[in-house]
A and B are shown apart, each in its own frame.
Chain A
Amino acid sequence: MDTPITLITGTRKGIGRYLAEHYVRCGHRVVGCSRGDVDWSLDGYQHYVADVSDEQAARRIFTDVRKKYGRLDHLINNAGIGSMNHSLLTPLSTVNAVLNTNVVGTFLFCREAAKLMKTNAYGRIVNLTTVAVPLKLEGEAIYVASKAAVLSLTGVLARELAPFGITVNAVGPVAIETDLIRSVPKEKIDRLVSRQAIPRLGTAADVANVIDFYLLRTSGFITGQCLFLGGV
């Protein structure tokens, strides 16, 4: 089988970086992007500096992937930003920034990836959402709304892209020790963890485990699904 080509957004740090390293270890050719350059490098990994909500920047990445590899097997929409704040204290600029990265960015990358995947009649798309959606977590209104949109997008795209051999699924992690939750008070994290069936913080490996499953060739009959971690 040819080397799998895997595109991951938001790879500079956190879960994205872990996933990039994980899939390089699994023998994939990994293409990643983030708004800033990465301070690490890896054989088998190529980085692009791009804002995922910038249509031209996104298209440039896909043009390069098409010219270099002629196909794309996997897309993992990991790039995301949060806003931990009461809705009454959330400025419009934050609302726009969160929606642009989490919703617009995910949509754009799904759309461009599907164009490339359909030429090969094969593709796996995995979007990252969060347990904060089913838990309706207070203090994160716009972040939760954006990730609920990602969930809806996953369900609709699963149907629209099924005729092209492309599956679209989502994974909803619990809180993971990353920059995204560093500013959240410990009591709030403890409260969130206590609402899980398995009350512990998640790890990037927990997320990769779910994505591994979605990316399997034998997972071709699984689409439009979301797997929440921790028993939420």
Chain B
Amino acid sequence: MKPELVSLILNAVQELGEHNGVPLPTALDGDTPLFGRDGLLDSLGLVTLVVAVEQAIEDELGVSVSLADERALSQRASPYRTVGALADYAGSLIRAAA
């Protein structure tokens, strides 16, 4: 499931870049930092991305999950620190909802 989620998140990041003028690097992958140190997104950008990913998971995988997490600001444990970390977090919630 992880590659599918990484690709879904990368699509959401691309869209955010196009619609909200967020400058993106040429290569995007699971290691791309999202939020926190060297992250692409400010807090409003993160909120927008999280909502877009929740809706994409609902539309494409038919599962409703809330990606809210109180570790958002943690450098080490934040599920929003990279694309891959967010994919892992979303995957764990999807498995728990199944």
Contact = CB atoms under 8 A, between A and B. Distances in A.
A119 B44 CA distance: 13
A27 interface: no
B59 to A, nearest CB: 9
Given A63-B64, A118-B51, A163 B58 contact: no
Interface in A142-194: 163
A66 interface: yes
Interface string B54-70: 11001000001010100
B11 interface: no
Interface in B39-97: 44, 47-48, 51, 54-55, 58, 64, 66, 68
Contacts of A63: 58, 64
Contacts of B54: 115
Given A55-B66, A59-B64, A60-B64, A163 B44 contact: yes
A50 B63 CA distance: 19
Looking at chain A's contact residues, is the secondary structure mostly helix, strand, loop, or mixed?
Answer: helix
Interface residues of B, number: 10
Nearest to B97: A56
B56 to A, nearest CB: 12
Contact of B55 (A55, A56, A66, A163): A66
A55 B54 CA distance: 14
A162 to B, nearest CB: 11
B18 to A, nearest CB: 15
Contacts of A118: 47-48, 51
A173 B66 CA distance: 33
Contacts of A55: 66
Nearest to B48: A118
Contacts of A59: 64, 66
Which 10 A/B pairs are nearest by Cβ-Cβ distance? A115-B51, A59-B64, A63-B64, A163-B44, A63-B58, A118-B51, A55-B66, A59-B66, A115-B54, A60-B64
18 contacts: A55-B66, A56-B64, A59-B64, A59-B66, A60-B64, A63-B58, A63-B64, A66-B55, A111-B68, A115-B51, A115-B54, A115-B55, A118-B47, A118-B48, A118-B51, A119-B51, A119-B55, A163-B44
Interface of B: 44, 47-48, 51, 54-55, 58, 64, 66, 68
Given A59-B66, A118-B47, 16 more contacts: A55-B66, A56-B64, A59-B64, A60-B64, A63-B58, A63-B64, A66-B55, A111-B68, A115-B51, A115-B54, A115-B55, A118-B48, A118-B51, A119-B51, A119-B55, A163-B44
